[in-house]
Structure 1
Amino acid sequence: MQKQIMKAYLLTTILVGLYSCNSNDDFVTNSTEAAAQFKVVNVTNHDGRPFSTGKLTNIPSGRYVENPGGGVMMQAFYWDVPAGGTWWNVVNSKITAWSNVGIGAIWLPPVSKAQNGPFSMGYDPTDYFDFGNFNQNGTVETRFGSKTELESLITKVHAENMQIYADMVLNHNSGGQLENNPFTGTQTYTNFTGVASGKFKRTSADFYKNAYGNNDEGIFGGFPDLAHVAPNVQDWLWKRADGVGKFYKNTMKFDGWRFDYVKGFGAWVIKDWNANVGGFSVGELWDSNVNILNDWANNANSSVFDFACYYKMNDAFDGNNLNVLNDDMMWKRNPYKAVTFVANHDTDEIWKKELAYAYILTHEGYPTIFYRDYEEWLNKTKLNNLIWIHNNKATGNTSILYTDNDEYIARRNGYNGNPGLVVYINNSSTWQERWIQTNWVNAQIKDFTGNSGWYPRTQADKWVKIQCPPNGYSVWSINM
C-alpha cells in the first residue's frame, strides 16, 4: 500500500509539473489516492498561527489548537441518550478523537438533578448543585452519570485544550413540594427548601406570580416560572460567589453556557449573568426573524443560535431553491454572535445535511455539529475534512458569487495572510461548472475536499473555471 501511495504522489507531482508548462489548459486531472491516505500538514505563518500548506504528510494532527478560521462546537448529546448513568463516560471516550480532528468545544446537556431523576434529560431542574452526588428524585446519579464522572470529563476536555459548555435552564424549575401560595390563593409546587444540596432554596416568592408581578416574558410547559427580578433568584443564579454561575465556572470549571428557552425571560438576565460570571454564552431564541435574533444578542451581550440560517438552509437544500441563501441571516448581520447549526436535540428537519454542513463549515459564524450526525448518521471522514477546511481556510468576510435554484458559489476573502476559499454547492443531479472570480492572480488552486480532480490556474484577472459534483460540494483554495 505504501508503494502505491508514493506512486500516486509522484504521479500528482508529474501532472502538476506538466500543467504548469501548459498555459493553454484550463485544468489538469489529479489522482486523489494520496490525499485519501494522508492528512494535510499545518505550519506556522508570520503571525504565529497555524496555516495550511496543502502538502501531504502522515504526521498526526495532535490536540486541538486554535486555527485561523476559528473553532467548531460539538453538541455532545441527543434527545433520550441511553439512561443508566453511562453518558459522561461515553463522551469522555471520544474527546481525544474529537480534539484530533479539530473540534474546539463541546456542549453538554443540563448537568444537575431534575424531577424525573434517572430518566430526565435535565430540562426540568430541581437542584442546581446536585451533579449526581445526592440521593434525590429517586436516584443518586443523573441520567448521564455521577459528579465524579462529570468532573473527569471536564478535566479530559481541558487536557485536550478544548472548552466545555453547560446547558443552563434558568426559565423554570420542577420537582418542588406543594405549599400554600399567598399570591395564587392555591397550593403550588414551588417549595424547593428541601433540596438535598441545601443551596438555592426557593419558595413561592421566587416564582410568578408573586410580589413583583403576575408573569414575565414566557411560561414553559406549565412548570413553575422563576422570577429573575427576585433578589434571592439573582443572588443564587449569578451574583453570589457560591451561587450557580460562579460555582459552575470556578469550581466545576465550565467555560461557557448554552441558555435554554431565552424567550421566557428578559435579555437583561443573560446580560447580568455574563457581566457577573463571564465565559462564552449562546442563547436558544427559537425565531427565524433576524431582527429579533440580532436585537436579543445585542441586548444580552451574547451569541445566539442562527435559526434564520437554519430555516433558510432547509428551504434551499430540501426545497431546491438555493437562491434563498441570498436572504438575511444572523451570521450575515453579526457573525461574531451567530452560532450556526444543521440539527440539534430539539429539531432535525434538514434532509440534505451534507450540503448544509458544507455551508456552515465554510461560512462565517460559529458552527455546531450534532452528535448523531457525526457519530452515527453521516460520513465522518467528510465531516472531518470540512472541519479541517473550516479551521484552516474559512477566513475573511464572505462574497456570494453566484446562485440559482441548484447552484451556490461563495468566496471567503481571506485574512492576515490566509488565502480564504471558494465553496461551490450543487443541488442538482449532474456535474456543474462555472467561471468565477477569485482573489488570486495566476495561482494554481485545488479542491480541498477531493471531490474534484481539477487543478486549475487562475488568470491574471483572477477568473477561473471550477466544478462541483452532483448533490455535492467542492471547496477551492490555493494549492501551496
Structure 2
Amino acid sequence: MERNQTLMQYFEWYLPNDGQHWNRLAADAPHLAELGISQVWMPPAFKATNDSDVGYGIYDLFDLGEFDQKGTVRTKYGTKDEYIQAIRVLKDHGISAIADLVLNHKASADGLESFEVIEVDPEDRTKELTEPFSIKGWTHFYFPGRRGHYNDFQWHWYHFTGTDFDAGRKQTGIYQIVGDNKGWSDDSLVDNENGNYDYLMYADLDFKHPEVVQNLYDWVNWFIPTTGISGFRLDAIKHIDSFFMKNFIRDIKDNLSEDFYVFGEFWNPDEETNTNYLEDTDYRFDLVDVKLHYNFQEASEKEANFDLTTIFDGSLVKNHPDSAVTFVENHDTQKGQALESVVADWFKPLAYGLILLRQQGKPCVFYGDYYGVQGAHAQASFQEILDKLLMVRKYWAYGAETDYFEDPNTIGWTRIPEELDRSPLAVILSNKDDAAISMFVGTQWQGQSFSDQLGHHSDTVLVGKDGWASFPVHGRSISAWTLTNDL
C-alpha cells in the first residue's frame, strides 16, 4: 500500500530554553511514527547569538552545540551528540530528519573591521543616500572557541554584501559594502520588495564571492555525513541569490542522492513570483504555500462571508501541486512574531482537513498547533482533532479525488481508492450552518453505512443504490466519512 507523506515542524518560537528539545524529539519518535509522520523539520541546530536564540541569529555553521562559544556549549535545543542521536532515532522509526538551513546571514561576529560602505534607503535598497564612507562593522568571524576544528576559514567584510550597524558612530542603517565585484545580488535573483531584498539582517553573505561559495560547499560536505540528515528546509530564500541556491541544491543531490528532500521558505504569496522562482531554480526544491496560509487566515476572519469554493485560489498547491508544502501555521506566523497572521481557532480543524485529507501537496503539521504554546503568547493544543485527522490521512486519504465545490459555505470532496475493497473517504466542511452534500462513493457500497471518523457528527449515512449518499456536517465544522465497519 502507498504511504502518504506527512511533514511535522517540530518546534515553535517560544519553546523552553532548557537544552532538552533534541531529547524530547528522540523520545517522541515512536509516537510520531504511529501518527504517520514521515519527515520531521528540526529547528536550526547551529550555534547562534546566545543559548536562547531560536537559531536564526546564526553564528557558526560548524558548531552544532559542541564548543564553548557565545557563552554556551549547547544550543537552545541541546548538544551536537543529542542532535545526531535524535536524527538516528527518527531514522530507526522510518522518519526522515530535515535540517533548517540558515545561509542568508551571519550574526554576532568576533571582531570589528573597517571598510567602505554606502548607506541605502531601507524602503528602496537600490537608492543610495550617501557617497562611500568608512565604518567599523562586526564582520570578522574567526570562531575562537572552535579554534579551526573541522574548518579554519575566517570571514571578513569582503565576504558580505551589507551590514546594519556602524560601531564607530554607534549608528544603525542599511550599509551596502563597497569594493571590487560588490553590491547586492542581481535584482532578478532576489525578491523585489524594498527595491532589492538581498539584505535582510546582520552581516549578509555575498554569494558572488568564490570563497563564500567554497566554504558553504566545504560545510555541506561535512554536515550531511556528520549528522545523517535527510533533507533541508531553506530559510529566507527570497533574500538569497537564486542562481547560487539552484546550483547548490543541484550539486548536493548529484553528489548524495536525488532523494535528499529540500523545500524553501519563499515568503511571497504572489502567484507569478512563485512560478518564476520555481522556473528559475529548475523546480529543484519545493516551496511553502504562503498564499494558501493567507487564504486560511482570511477565511477564519471573514467566517461565513468567505466563499469556501475559492479557498485554493492563487495557491501553490493549485498551480504547482508537486512543488507545494502546505501548512496552516508556523513559527513566524504565530502570535508575537515577524509575520504574525494567526488562523483563528475555530477554523484550524477545517484548515488542517484541507491540507491533510487531500491528494495534492505535502502537508506540514505545526508543533505549536499540536502541542500548544505556553506563556505570554499561549495558544491552544489541537492534538485531539489532529490525531484523528492524521489517522484518516494515514488509513483512508488515498485514491482519485472528486471535488464538490458548489456552495460558498459548504464544500466537500471524495477520495476513491484503487482497491475496490477499501473504504472511500467523503470529506465535508462548513463555515456557516449545518449542511449536507450529495457525493458519489461507488455502487459497490449501496446499502452500507458510513460514519464520521472525526466524531463531530453522530449520524450514520446509508449509501443509495446509485452509489450516492448525502453526507452531513455541522455548522463551522468538518466531518470525514468512511465505512462504519472500518472504524
Q: Give me the TM-score of the superposition, normalised by structure 1.
A: 0.79
- Percent identity (aligned): 25
Query: Of 214, 222, 243, which residue of structure 1 is paired with 2:183?
Result: 214
Which 10-residue stretch deviates more, 263-272 or 435-444?
435-444
Q: Is 1:187 matched up with 2:191?
A: no
Query: Of 351, 356, 377, which residue of structure 2 is paired with 1:356?
Result: 351
Gaps (5+ residues) in structure 2? 119-133, 162-176, 191-196, 254-259, 335-341, 373-379
Which 10-residue stretch deviates more, 86-95 or 143-152?
86-95
Q: 1:79 to 1:192 in 2, by over 3 A?
A: same
Q: Confirm or deny: 8 A CA contact 1:110 1:123 kept in the other structure.
A: yes
1:71 corresponding residue in structure 2: 5
Q: CA deviation at 1:396?
A: 4.0
Q: Confirm or deny: 8 A CA contact 2:451 2:482 kept in the other structure.
A: yes
* Letter matched to residue 354 of structure 2: Y
Q: 1:326 to 1:264 in 2, by over 3 A?
A: closer
Q: CA deviation at 1:271?
A: 1.8
Q: Confirm or deny: 8 A CA contact 1:315 1:324 kept in the other structure.
A: no
Q: Confirm or deny: 8 A CA contact 1:75 1:369 kept in the other structure.
A: yes
Gaps (5+ residues) in structure 1? 1-48, 50-66
Q: 1:120 to 1:326 in 2, by over 3 A?
A: closer
* Letter matched to residue 184 of structure 2: N
Measure, in 1, the Cα distance between the counterparts of 2:412 and 2:391: 20
2:228 corresponding residue in structure 1: 253
1:447 corresponding residue in structure 2: 452
2:454 match: secondary structure: coil
* Letter matched to residue 272 of structure 1: N
* Letter matched to residue 424 of structure 1: I
1:60 corresponding residue in structure 2: none
1:366 corresponding residue in structure 2: 362
Q: 1:415 to 1:311 in 2, by over 3 A?
A: farther
Q: CA deviation at 1:457?
A: 4.0
Which 10-residue stretch deviates more, 250-259 or 95-104?
95-104
Q: Residue by residue, what CA displacement relative to the aligned partner does 1:309-347 show, whole Å, maximum 9, x if unpaired?
A: 111122223312123215231111222211111111110
1:311 corresponding residue in structure 2: 294
Q: Confirm or deny: 8 A CA contact 2:35 2:394 kept in the other structure.
A: no
The Cα RMSD (Å) is 2.3
1:40 corresponding residue in structure 2: none
1:449 match: secondary structure: coil
1:275 corresponding residue in structure 2: 250
1:294 match: secondary structure: helix
Q: 1:267 to 1:440 in 2, by over 3 A?
A: farther
* Letter matched to residue 296 of structure 1: Y
Measure, in 2, the Cα distance between the counterparts of 1:129 and 1:368: 28
Query: Of 20, 28, 41, which residue of structure 2 is paired with 1:94?
Result: 28
Measure, in 1, the Cα distance between the counterparts of 2:275 and 2:401: 19
2:194 corresponding residue in structure 1: none
Q: Residue by residue, what CA displacement relative to the aligned partner does 1:91-115 show, whole Å, maximum 9, x if unpaired?
A: 2222221112211111111111112
Q: CA deviation at 1:406?
A: 2.3
Query: Of 375, 378, 385, which residue of structure 1 is paired with 2:388?
Result: 385
* Letter matched to residue 193 of structure 1: Y
1:456 match: secondary structure: strand
Q: Confirm or deny: 8 A CA contact 1:285 1:304 kept in the other structure.
A: yes
Which 10-residue stretch deviates more, 100-109 or 401-410?
401-410
Q: Is 1:299 matched up with 2:232?
A: no
Q: CA deviation at 1:390?
A: 1.6
1:118 corresponding residue in structure 2: 51
Q: Residue by residue, what CA displacement relative to the aligned partner does 1:389-410 show, whole Å, maximum 9, x if unpaired?
A: 2223223454321343421212
Q: Is 1:375 matched up with 2:308?
A: no
Aligned positions of 1:125-274 closer than 5 A: 125-176=58-109, 177-181=111-115, 185-194=134-143, 196-197=145-146, 198=148, 199=151, 200-208=153-161, 209=177, 210-216=179-185, 217=190, 218-238=197-217, 243-274=218-249
Measure, in 2, the Cα distance between the counterparts of 1:135 and 1:457: 66
Q: Give me the TM-score of the superposition, normalised by structure 2.
A: 0.78
Q: Confirm or deny: 8 A CA contact 1:166 1:256 kept in the other structure.
A: yes
2:364 match: secondary structure: strand
* Letter matched to residue 353 of structure 1: K
* Letter matched to residue 173 of structure 1: K
Tell me: higher relative CO, structure 1 or 2? Use CA pairs within 8 A at least 6 residues apart. Answer: 1
